[in-house]
Amino acid sequence: MEHIRMPKVENVRLLDRLSSRRAVVGTLYLTATHVIFVENGSETRKETWVLHSQISSIEKQATTATGSPLLIRCKNFQVIQLVIPQERDCHDVYISLIRLARPVKYEELYCFSFNPKLDKEEREQGWKLVDLNEEYNRMGVPNSYWQISDVNRDYGVCDSYPTEVYVPKSATAHIIVGSSKFRSRRRFPALSYYCKANNASICRSSQPLSGFSARCLEDEQMLQAIRKANPGSDFIYVVDTRPKLNAMANRAAGKGYENEDNYSNIKFQFIGIENIHVMRNSLQKMLEVCELKSPSMSDFLWGLENSGWLKHIKAIMDAGIFIAKAVAEEGVSVLVHCSDGWDRTAQVCSVASLLLDPYYRTMKGFMVLIEKDWVSFGHKFNHRYGNLDGDPKEISPVIDQFIECVWQLMEQFPCAFEFNERFLIHIQHHIYSCQFGNFLCNSQKERRELKIKERTYSLWAHLWKNRADYLNPLYRSDHSQSQGTLHPQIAPCNFLYKFWSGMYNRFEKGLHPRQSVTDYLMAVKEETQQLEEELEVLQERLANLQKSQSGNNKVKSKQQDRSKQFGLYTSNNSLANTPQEYSNDLKSFPSRSPSQGDEDSALILTQDNLKSSDPDLSANSDQESGVEDLSCRSPSGGGCLPSEDSGKDSDEAVFLAG
């Protein structure tokens, strides 16, 4: 709290990016964990909550007659424009936020104060939801080819690897240690995915320290061992996910890539995915396009192309497709690496796993996948997502790109995933929110030292608890798309990659479809389930009635049954009335303190909105702008529509501007 110079500023204006006419006046609060803006106005005290850890930049702009503008950009792509009447207040807020947004100790992060009111046991259960041992067993290891190695217990060989890694049975501790010495940051080849059906595997590592001519017998033996663990194939692919030029440049620094002549039976392949710096700049450029005030179509498309973002997404997908094909169709094992083997390698291994194994396309499986390829193998969450104040050059949207790859696949295979877009968006949100401990630190070692599991809560348990919100209504476990390997179209395919406005313009509700097919279908399915239950009850009653009639017994329960029916109708009607209900359900600030009480209020944002667990529906969303909110679909046919028009005013400025 000592960093807060100014806990409260009144008469602050929150601007609407799309329409200057829709600015709202309210009070700005700074708390230890959040920036909160509460609208004035007796009816709708709408609240906007932003976690300090979501703030990626704060920009103070030139003071004008109306006040001092402050622009806050968030890592979840929310952009907040405030105008603070007094320059001095603005400066104080600015200075406070600069500090609050860049904590220096893990203990300052929100997850250490966040308390969802779960007891110790529930917390522990939550952390057990995703269990990697179980996952490797599911894949079919250990078996006669693969074993668990304890060579890295106490992180003695590689401090960014997990303690338990799977390696080929023939790889002795000597070979592993020898190989680790020949790899950047000692990240030796280890199992990422094993394909039970044909013994082919995906292994991952960092680059070899080959320089121009160095060799390492143990490393060569290690690759040999990986090949032997797949008796069906007489070679393995070594996939270097970097552009060739980058890999060659690394040789001068004593690093580099495998020489096919030194390793027996490998096929070496470059797949040009650019490095974290290129990706960071690319995202930056794309976000500039997203932020344009009223871009023309050409501005937008040109800017999108110029950012190169979709090209990079495609490169990652192409690498994943290549590996999935090698494993599934050719039955060949693959060793994947980049430089350190914790960014591009994680992206590519997880995309390949997702394509290969339908389990990873379920909600639970997806959590496992992130835990396996990202969390356990030392993806540097802290550095990449800037949780603590650090080197800005380390920041890069690596996992964002993976998440987008999943979305692109969801667009191409609408029935293949158990979860929906919202699930991805919320995971992205929480990678940055630091509300849960899962993604803290840079490695398993650091997390253990920090006692994350004892001191914080797991995101997976939170998502699992709310899984009804994240279901894809089109998914059926017996559908053909949820079986086997996915085969995305390879060529021509450039037009299959689309801009993801649901993510990058997430907070501009006005830009999105006003009716959600997913929510609509989920409501239908929910009702279907109720109908199924009722049908059963009715059938039972009918059977009883017929029985009793034949036995000449009178049923006296009529009165009671009528009320039961009535009960069902009212529940249907209340479904139809949801928007009105929500808009009446407004609380005045501070309705729930951020560090305790309902966890969801802490999440973010406004409470007058749909699902409280939904970090989407935050700020700026306009009560009137969604047509009848989808949840108000009228199951019994009697439509009950809000009386106001949809999208009142929402786009007027836009039409008139041209």
Regarding 543 and contact with another protein (CB under 8 A), the answer is no
Regarding 650 and contact with another protein (CB under 8 A), the answer is yes
Of residues 20 and 528, the one with the C-beta less far from another protein: 528
Question: Among the candidate windows 344-352, 433-441, 558-566, 582-590, which touches another protein by CB under 8 A?
Answer: 558-566
The residues, ordered by sequence, that sit 6+ positions from 22 with a Cβ below 8 Å of its Cβ are 16, 622, 649
Helices (H), ranges, 129-216: 132-139, 173-181
Question: Among the candidate windows 139-147, 297-305, 446-454, 605-613, which touches another protein by CB under 8 A?
Answer: 297-305
Regarding 655 and contact with another protein (CB under 8 A), the answer is yes
Of residues 131 and 329, the one with the C-beta less far from another protein: 329
Regarding 560 and contact with another protein (CB under 8 A), the answer is no
From CA 18, how far away is CA 182, in angstroms rounded?
54
What CA dihedral angle connects 269, 270, 276 and 282, to 10 degrees? Answer: -130
Annotated binding residue 276: yes
3-state secondary structure of 169: coil
**What helix, strand, coil percent values describe the chain, rounded to 5?**
45, 15, 40
Regarding 499 and contact with another protein (CB under 8 A), the answer is yes
3-state secondary structure of 240: strand
Could you confirm whether 338 is annotated as catalytic?
A: yes
Give strand pairing partners of 64.
Answer: 67
Token pair belonging to 112: 């250490």
Question: Among the candidate windows 188-196, 211-219, 542-550, 615-623, which touches another protein by CB under 8 A?
Answer: 542-550
Residues within window 11-40 making contact with another protein, judged by CB under 8 A: 18
- Which H/E stretch holds residue 405? helix 398-412
Q: Name which position in 133, 213, 298, 560 contacts another protein (CB under 8 A).
A: 298
Smallest distance, Å, CB 426 to another protein? 21
Regarding 498 and contact with another protein (CB under 8 A), the answer is yes
From CA 626, how far away is CA 646, in angstroms rounded?
6
**Residue type for position 475:** Y
Smallest distance, Å, CB 317 to another protein? 11
Regarding 473 and contact with another protein (CB under 8 A), the answer is yes
Smallest distance, Å, CB 38 to another protein? 27
Of residues 310 and 328, the one with the C-beta less far from another protein: 310
For residues 174 and 218, the answer to whether their CB atoms sit within 8 Å is yes
State the pairing for strand pair 334-337/236-240.
parallel
Annotated binding residue 84: no
Task: Provide the edge-to-edge strand list for the sheet that holds 47-51.
Answer: 47-51, 34-39, 24-30, 8-15, 79-84, 68-74, 55-60
Regarding 245 and contact with another protein (CB under 8 A), the answer is no
Regarding 464 and contact with another protein (CB under 8 A), the answer is no
Q: What's the chain's length in residues?
A: 658
Q: Name which position in 198, 541, 589, 598 contacts another protein (CB under 8 A).
A: 541
3-state secondary structure of 146: strand
Q: Name which position in 20, 125, 294, 570 contacts another protein (CB under 8 A).
A: 294
Smallest distance, Å, CB 4 to another protein? 36
Regarding 260 and contact with another protein (CB under 8 A), the answer is no
Annotated binding residue 608: no
Regarding 45 and contact with another protein (CB under 8 A), the answer is no
Regarding 658 and contact with another protein (CB under 8 A), the answer is yes
Regarding 269 and contact with another protein (CB under 8 A), the answer is no
Regarding 291 and contact with another protein (CB under 8 A), the answer is no
For residues 273 and 398, the answer to whether their CB atoms sit within 8 Å is no
Options 338, 349, 405, 441, the catalytic residue: 338
Listed residue (597, 653, 610, 641) closest to 116, CA to CA: 597
> Burial, 225: exposed, middle or buried (Cβ in 10 Å; 0-12, 13-18, 19+)?
buried
Annotated binding residue 341: yes
Residues within window 62-101 making contact with another protein, judged by CB under 8 A: none
Angle at 33 between CA 31 and CA 37, to 5 degrees: 55
> What binding mask, one character per residue, do residues 505-534 give for another protein by CB under 8 A, x or -?
x--x-xxxxxx-x--xx--xx-xx--xx-x
State the pairing for strand pair 236-240/266-270.
parallel
State the pairing for strand pair 34-39/24-30.
antiparallel
Listed residue (421, 417, 405, 414) closest to 365, CA to CA: 417
Question: Among the candidate windows 24-32, 247-255, 451-459, 485-493, which touches another protein by CB under 8 A?
Answer: 485-493
What CA dihedral angle connects 245, 251, 255 and 259, to 10 degrees? Answer: 90
Of residues 122 and 561, the one with the C-beta less far from another protein: 561
Smallest distance, Å, CB 49 to another protein? 25
Q: What end-to-end distance do the CA atoms of the chain give, in Å? A: 47
Annotated binding residue 616: no
From CA 620, how far away is CA 44, in angstroms rounded?
12
From CA 135, how far away is CA 350, in angstroms rounded?
14
Of residues 83 and 273, the one with the C-beta less far from another protein: 273
Annotated binding residue 344: yes
From CA 633, how far away is CA 457, in angstroms rounded?
36
Smallest distance, Å, CB 502 to another protein? 10
Listed residue (93, 24, 172, 165) closest to 623, CA to CA: 24
From CA 316, how far away is CA 405, in angstroms rounded?
8
Tell me which residue has tokens 């430089």: 339
Residues within window 365-424 making contact with another protein, judged by CB under 8 A: 412-416
Of residues 244 and 547, the one with the C-beta less far from another protein: 547
Smallest distance, Å, CB 20 to another protein? 16
Count of positions on this chain that bind another protein (CB under 8 A): 91
Token pair belonging to 204: 């991952």
Token pair belonging to 555: 């049923």
Residues within window 307-326 making contact with another protein, judged by CB under 8 A: 308, 310-311, 314
Of residues 309 and 457, the one with the C-beta less far from another protein: 309
Regarding 143 and contact with another protein (CB under 8 A), the answer is no
Q: Name which position in 494, 560, 563, 584 contacts another protein (CB under 8 A).
A: 494
Smallest distance, Å, CB 592 to another protein? 32
Smallest distance, Å, CB 328 to another protein? 18
Annotated binding residue 302: no
Annotated binding residue 339: yes
From CA 308, how far away is CA 209, in angstroms rounded?
31
Regarding 491 and contact with another protein (CB under 8 A), the answer is yes
Residues within window 606-645 making contact with another protein, judged by CB under 8 A: 627-628, 630, 633-635, 639, 641-642, 644-645
Q: Name which position in 551, 558, 563, 588 contacts another protein (CB under 8 A).
A: 558
Smallest distance, Å, CB 12 to another protein? 26
Regarding 288 and contact with another protein (CB under 8 A), the answer is no
Regarding 285 and contact with another protein (CB under 8 A), the answer is no
Q: Residues within the annotated binding site for substrate? A: 275-276, 338-344
Q: Residues within the annotated binding site? A: 275-276, 338-344
Active-site residue list: 338
